[in-house]
Amino acid sequence: MMDSSPPLLDRSPEEGVRRIALGHLDQAAAAFPRLADPADSEALHDFRVALRRLRSCLRSYGSWLEESLPKKLRRRLKELAAATGPGRDTEVQIEWLRGRSPQLGSHQRPGLAWLLSYLEERMRKANEEMAGHIPDEFPRLEAALRKRLSSYQTEVRLDSTEPPATLGKATAGILRDLAAELARHLSGVDGPGDEEECHEARICAKRLRYLLEPFTGELPEAASVAKHMKGLQEILGELHDAHVLELGLAASVEAAAAERARHLMDATLSSTLIARRRTPEPGILAVAKVNRTRRDRLFDDLESDWLNSRSKGFFQEVAALADRIDLTGDAPATVPD
């Protein structure tokens, strides 16, 4: 049987936004039980992405959801999403570090081993905290969100001369705003060490991609722009990982030195023979140099594809897409099925 329901972009903003948000909530609910399976290595990633998409949707279309989602409920969602972050972020660092052994000398590898052990312990603690929070909180939060998003009230003015609002019109305006914000952050990046502007550009690229993904089936142009955004997001994401790891490596050097000092103190006070061992600091510093090389290479990729007016063609494509969505939004609003 053919689906006679109207295109998503032709629906009212109030209805369309809620349908998108409920779809993201469904994805999170599908990934949630998989978190209990230690063999499912993608469960946490899928759960996090669904929550990110949901939060991005609620943020982008916030003016059409204010009455449905009170601040307390939004705060609970933010806190739940934040609880999934540290463990996954540390896991990404560990995966990258495990492949660095061939780039280190034999005298540096003990430092890499120490660093991996240090991060694995941190990941274990983060996952324990997450495991103590998510299983109880998500079912309650899901129920509250689903109840709030599944219905709404709106006023229809039969004497209005204005055309009815559509999700297409709303999305076109948001797309233009996000594109302008992304262009501003990219133009503000002044070098490979500019962590703040790169991070803001990454978040903006992610929001723009998440905004368009629900419409890629209706508009091939949206799929093209979303694909470009995924590529930019990947470059900026790995660049962000390099920035975060560099800060973490500085803290690791301090932790390693403190651990060595405690070992020396304990051995001295107990009058025991201090066994000679390779200190981890040289290995950690070597990893820091490899990571800095990665950071600079990623910035070169970013600069060659996106900075200094090289993204002009892309933003023209986005402007054309916004106009196309605007035209789609000219269709008359339909009664929800």
Q: What's residue 87's pLDDT?
A: 85
Q: What string of DSSP letters covers 34-62?
A: GGG-TT-TTHHHHHHHHHHHHHHHHHHTG
pLDDT > 50? residue 296: yes
Q: What's residue 271's pLDDT?
A: 62
Q: Give me the mean pLDDT over the 74-92 stretch.
A: 90
**What does each C-alpha distance from 218 to 42, 109, 191, 208 come to in angstroms?**
28, 52, 38, 17
pLDDT > 60? residue 302: yes
| pLDDT-derived band at 11, boundaries 50, 70, 90 | very high
Q: What's residue 330's pLDDT?
A: 58
Sign, CA torsion 210/211/217/219: negative
| pLDDT-derived band at 274, boundaries 50, 70, 90 | low
Q: What's residue 337's pLDDT?
A: 47
Of 185, 192, 297, the closest CA to residue 243 belongs to: 192
| pLDDT-derived band at 2, boundaries 50, 70, 90 | very low
Written as six digits, the tokens of 211 are 């905004």
pLDDT > 60? residue 273: no
Q: DSSP code of 154?
A: -
Residue with tokens 């800060």: 247
Q: Give me the mean pLDDT over the 5-10 stretch.
A: 84
Task: Express each pLDDT in 84-99 by its tens digit.
Answer: 888 888 888 999 999 9
Task: Express each pLDDT in 21-39 by its tens digit.
Answer: 999 999 999 999 999 898 9
Question: How far is it, in rounded angstroms, from Cα 201 to Cα 75?
Answer: 24
pLDDT > 70? residue 334: no
**What SS3 class is residue 96?**
helix
Task: Express each pLDDT in 173-211 by its tens digit.
Answer: 999 999 999 999 999 999 999 999 999 999 999 999 999
DSSP E strand stretches across 197-254? none
Q: Answer whether 93's CB lies under 8 Å from 247's CB.
A: no
Give the burial string for 52-83 (b: 16+ CB within 10 Å, else e).
bbbbbbbebbeebbeebbeeeebebbeebbeb
Question: How far is it, in rounded angstroms, from Cα 172 to Cα 60?
Answer: 11
Look up residue 19 and give its amino acid: R
Q: Give me the mean pLDDT over the 298-319 stretch.
A: 95
Q: What's residue 336's pLDDT?
A: 45
Q: What's residue 41's pLDDT?
A: 83
Residue partners of 212: CB distance under 8 A and separation at least 6: 175, 222, 223, 225, 226, 229, 321
Q: What's residue 213's pLDDT?
A: 96
Q: Give me the mean pLDDT over the 125-141 stretch.
A: 90
Task: Express each pLDDT in 229-269 by its tens digit.
Answer: 999 999 999 999 999 999 889 888 887 777 777 777 766 67
Question: How far is it, in rounded angstroms, from Cα 329 to Cα 314?
Answer: 23
Residue with tokens 């629900």: 214
Average pLDDT, the chain: 89
pLDDT > 80? residue 212: yes
Instruction: Tell me the HSE value of 320 on the side-chain side, using a 13 A CA sphere.
Output: 12
Of 118, 65, 82, 80, the closest CA to residue 287 belongs to: 118
Q: Give me the mean pLDDT over the 53-72 stretch.
A: 91
**What does each C-alpha distance from 299 to 25, 185, 199, 286, 304 come to in angstroms?**
35, 14, 13, 20, 8
